[in-house]
Structure 1
Amino acid sequence: MNRMSEPLTTLRDDAGSASIELPATAERGPLDIEYRWLHAHRQDAPLAVFLHEGLGSVAMWKDWPQTLCDKLGMRGLVYSRPGYGRSTPRPHDVMLPVDFMSVQASDVLPALLDALEVSPAERKRMWVIGHSDGASITLLYAAAFPDSLAGAVAIAPHVFVEDISVDSIAEAKIAYEQGDLRSKLARHHADVDSAFYGWNDVWLSAAFRSWSIVDELTRIRCPLLAVQGYDDHYGTMVQIDTIARQAPQAQLSKLDNCGHSPHRDAPQALDAAIVEFIAKYTNDARG
């Protein structure tokens, strides 16, 4: 992961580092997780938890989580997964397991919520919003804890591996090793090689080609919005169409003139879709 070269001013409120310990990391001790609260003073408001993409971090979200929380009237929690941002780096000799996203959903996120004293009652009102790998983790969390969240938003999710994803990730490796991608990412991660190769190596491994979370989708019971851009070069519409088949309550939002990062490519359309979707269930809950 890598350290931010300058203070992040667009994400406001309380920033810090939480210590969590997982059975799989007991030999290395606790993991430090970089996090930031948005609207921390709104203790009565529902919580939105943001899960970043495969090369993301707290800093790389920029101001989008803050903007969305402003529109939703929610508190927000943004954090960097282990290996990213200013969280504990991945040891360079340790490759992520094929099921690394399941570990994040079932172990890391619950441990962080425990460390930050997010109560069971708060979790039942919580919305989990993820992008790319973070969207897949969002789906896995919703499947693993079907009664412990209000709803989920999966933006450009992966539910199985497509050739277009592998081809684009292979191109990213070339850009990282031969172009300027490494220098761009280094502004946002304390150990940039930990962040990049943790993501790149597992996605390009032969073992990962058979990775799929399609079966897990049937366990999702909460309201679910899945968003995909038509110009996404990391995945096609078959990803969210598959979600709709497996989780019939899912609502789909397909965005024109939008690539893999709708919060950057089409933020107004994305915000409108999320706000309308969440408001529907918030209003229903109020009766």
Structure 2
Amino acid sequence: MNAQNVIAKELSIETVHGPLAVTYWDPAVQSPKSPLIMFHDSLGAISLWRQFPALLALKTGRRVIAYDRFGFGKSAIRTDKLSADFVAQEPALVLPILKEEFGFSSFIAMGHSVGGAMAIEAAAQFPNDCASLVTIAAQTFAEDVTLNGIREAKKLFADPAQLQRLEKYHGPRTEWVVSAWIDTWLSDEFQQWTLNDALPKIICPALVIHGSDDEYGSTIHTDIISKKTSGPVTVEILQGGHHMPHRESEDFVLTLIEEFLA
């Protein structure tokens, strides 16, 4: 596949919360199909998706829209503390902005890691608009596996060199980004977070992708999504896969998504 056959455009949407950085990819052949909205992970940004969105647009024939959450990448700087319900707040805040900017009603929600949880919330909060749901390495509660992985990451980020690596993507936001991940997930308030209320509200088809050896979440999350979601669910466990299936097995994951949406 040649990602050069996709047209990519960057824009900054002015909002009451400050600028929202967005990039979208259009396949060379325009399609009326519902666009894919991508929710990034806890340290993520548009740029950290790398070539995946472009290849996704090419593979599915759909517009793909990714954005930097407020406080991340090139979006508005934040200095506040994330609330314990930030996962549910994200699609409620951003989807109306994207809908107004791009003029779509129906969409496909897709996310990686905590972005997968945000995609689940998007499908739950907008059940009549969300045509399909795709999660990659999503968590549904604050599992010990996840928290232990974050504690190990906290030790790594005690090294200034690790922060400097992230500055390439987040600039002056970097320390806030790391704190928003580590301090929020390890806080007492967040230990009660789950998607138990959101999952039964999902009526669209879902594709749930997870690595068997994911260091930030076991396959218990795929079981929970399968059992509690009201719509049909397709589960794909990548044997030997870790927390980044879309990087570790890019072609395979792209094909899974293409076939699911077809």
TM-score, length basis structure 2: 0.92
Structure 1, unpaired ranges of 5+: 1-8, 22-29, 280-287
AA paired with 1:234? Answer: Y
Name which of 124, 129, 135 aligns with 1:154: 135
Residue of structure 1 in register with 2:56 after alignment: 68
SS of equivalent residue, structure 2 residue 170: coil
The whole-number CA distance in structure 2 between the counterparts of 1:75 and 1:156 is: 23
The whole-number CA distance in structure 2 between the counterparts of 1:81 and 1:264 is: 21
Greater strand percent: which structure?
Answer: 2
Q: Percent identity?
A: 29
Within 5 Å, which residues of 2 pair with 1:240-279? Answer: 240-247=222-229, 249-279=232-262
Contact 2:31 2:62 (8 Å CA) reproduced: no
Q: Does 1:36 align with 2:23?
A: yes
The whole-number CA distance in structure 1 between the counterparts of 2:195 and 2:97 is: 22
Q: Kindly provide the CA deviation profile for residues 100-146 of structure 1, in whole angstroms up to 9, marking residues without a partner as x.
A: 011102122222332x142xxx322x211110111000000100110
Within 5 Å, which residues of 2 pair with 1:198-277? Answer: 198-247=180-229, 249-277=232-260
Residue of structure 2 in register with 1:14 after alignment: 9
Give, in angstroms, the shift of residue 11 of structure 1: 8.5
Residue of structure 2 in register with 1:24 after alignment: none
Residue of structure 2 in register with 1:103 after alignment: 89
Contact 2:142 2:193 (8 Å CA) reproduced: yes
Residue of structure 1 in register with 2:67 after alignment: 79
AA paired with 2:56? Answer: L
The whole-number CA distance in structure 1 between the counterparts of 2:202 and 2:211 is: 23
AA paired with 1:63? Answer: Q
CA RMSD across the alignment: 1.8
SS of equivalent residue, structure 1 residue 36: strand
Contact 2:27 2:61 (8 Å CA) reproduced: no
Contact 1:14 1:40 (8 Å CA) reproduced: no
SS of equivalent residue, structure 1 residue 227: strand
TM-score, length basis structure 1: 0.85
Within 5 Å, which residues of 2 pair with 1:133-152? Answer: 133-152=114-133
Total equivalences in the alignment: 256
Structure 2, unpaired ranges of 5+: none
The whole-number CA distance in structure 1 between the counterparts of 2:33 and 2:102 is: 15
